């Protein structure tokens, strides 16, 4: 298991369950941005946009700093990494199971091959 | 970009924004389970548990089949893969940017090294 907490992971997945917030994460992946530059592509009132930023900031996906009257946002890749790690762990569990299944099917197949000549002899 | 839709991704992230639903995904990664076996470890009324299963099923993370009176659930790893792919894309964007930053800093450093001897001469 990773070193993230279940509550933190819940908040990160909740934050990502919104297309506007995912678009903000995508934009900040290319570098820090001011709030006004970030908000520009969205047809949304600024207070609604600020609420999305606040959800992202509370769960640690972004941080923001104010210099004078300009607030700048920055991606915090660690929270994204925790979510990715959780998903990778689920895939690892799933793939380990699929491998066991494949080995089991292969084993049945091999047993069948060994049994086949005997059946063939019985038929003659 | 992946071939998942934004709406599907929103639903998958929303489904994962709950510790019970993540635990169900974790359990089903080890293989299909009946609803009653899945529900057993949770201190939760069955109707509440069924609601969680329904959220997981609607977004395609699990599927279920009923045989007689027994309903069995199975993980559908594709939806998990879509979420993982989206996160990996964000990381790739972020890492490409970090690489560009590192090259830029290195370039500044090299320029400084070339400028240094001149400065040293000027000081003499």
ipTM of the complex: 0.83
Question: How high is the pLDDT of residue B123?
Answer: 54
Gap between the Cα atoms of B32 and B75, Å rounded: 7
> How far is CA B74 from each of CA B22, B71, B80, rounded to the nearest angstrom?
14, 10, 13
Q: Which residue in B87, B97, B104 has the most chain A C-beta atoms within 10 A of its own C-beta, making it the best mutation to test that interface?
A: B87
**pLDDT above 70: residue A121:** no
Nearest CA to A61 among A41, A81, A39?
Answer: A81
Q: What is the CB neighbour count within 10 angstroms for residue A74? A: 13
What 8-state DSSP symbol labels residue B18?
A: S
CB pair distance less than 8 Å for B17 and A18: no
**pLDDT above 70: residue A70:** yes
Nearest CA to A96 among B75, B121, B29, B11?
Answer: B29
Gap between the Cα atoms of B23 and B64, Å rounded: 17
* Structure confidence by residue, pLDDT tens digits, B24-65: 999 999 999 999 999 999 999 999 999 999 999 999 999 999
Task: Report how far Cα A39 is from the mean position of its chain's Cα atoms.
Answer: 24
CB pair distance less than 8 Å for A84 and B88: yes
**pLDDT above 60: residue A123:** no
| Arithmetic mean of pLDDT, A51-71 | 96
Which pTM was predicted?
A: 0.84
Q: Is A26 on the interface with B (CB under 8 A)?
A: yes
Chain B hits for A97, Cβ within 8 Å: 29-31
């Amino acid at each position: 298991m990773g070193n993230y907490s279940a509550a933190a992971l819940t908040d990160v997945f909740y934050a990502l369950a919104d297309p506007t917030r995912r678009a903000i994460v995508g934009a900040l992946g290319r570098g820090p941005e001011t709030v006004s530059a970030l908000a520009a592509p969205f047809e949304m009132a600024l207070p609604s946009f600020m609420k999305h930023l606040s959800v992202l900031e509370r769960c640690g996906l972004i941080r923001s700093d104010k210099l004078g009257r300009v607030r700048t946002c920055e991606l915090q890749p660690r929270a994204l990494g925790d979510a990715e790690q959780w998903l990778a762990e689920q895939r690892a569990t799933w793939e380990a199971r699929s491998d066991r299944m494949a080995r089991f099917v292969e084993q049945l197949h091999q047993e069948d091959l060994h049994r086949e000549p005997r059946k063939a002899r019985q038929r003659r």
